[in-house]
Amino acid sequence: MKIGFLGLGTMGQPIAANLLKSGREVRVWNRSAQATQKMVGLGAQAAATAAQAFEADVVFSMFADDAALRSVLLDSGLLAQLNGPRIHINLTTISVASADELARLHRAQGIDYIAAPVMGRADVAADGQLNVLVAGPQRAIDRVQPLFDLIARNTWRLGPQASSANAMKLATLHLQEAVAGLQSERGEL
């Protein structure tokens, strides 16, 4: 199974490194070449373009936010040029509306879209101990579960609607912020 990986920032690099450690072929792309070269040093193949990274059976993406993901996949016209069968696993925490839009657009191209935002910091990612909130087509999730097992301690399956994973991640973030605010008010931090 050939793997593509787009977005090699603070979280993307350790996740991609764990996929590489499994001995799988991983082709990487990042908007800045320096991050790509670091992964090439670990055994990855460099993709000159995001489209080249999508020349794989399974593609992971890990961007900063909705805008970065939209720029690479939609504004560039990349997604409209792709077709299935392949699986796109989006690890980025994005809005529910964006997740619904991406699921619809992927379906139109014959590509299985899995939303899989992660819970954990870079050190947790490096240790392969993330919690991954996963939603999308069941058969596609079953196919890539061995890859989730390489990067995560737990994979939490949240059903067939991809945006469910993003809704859960956003709700968790808001809850963490609320708890931290209460603790700060009480002087517990």
Residue 21 catalytic? Answer: no
Q: Is 4 exposed, middle or buried (0-12, 13-18, 19+ CB in 10 A)?
A: buried
Catalytic residue among 2, 21, 38, 169: 169
Q: What is the CATH number of the domain that holds 130?
A: 3.40.50.720
Q: What was the pLDDT predicted at 179?
A: 75
Q: Measured between alpha carbons, how far is residue 174 from residues 96, 99, 134, 180 in Å?
A: 14, 18, 19, 10
Q: What was the pLDDT predicted at 119?
A: 96
| Domain containing residue 40 | 3-186
Q: What was the pLDDT predicted at 170?
A: 95
Distance, C-alpha 4 to centroid of its chain: 11
- Number of structural domains (the chain) is 1
Walking along the chain (189 residues) 10 residues at a time, the average pLDDT comes out as: 96 97 96 93 96 97 96 97 94 97 97 97 97 98 98 98 97 80 75
Q: What was the pLDDT predicted at 173?
A: 83
Q: What was the pLDDT predicted at 102?
A: 98
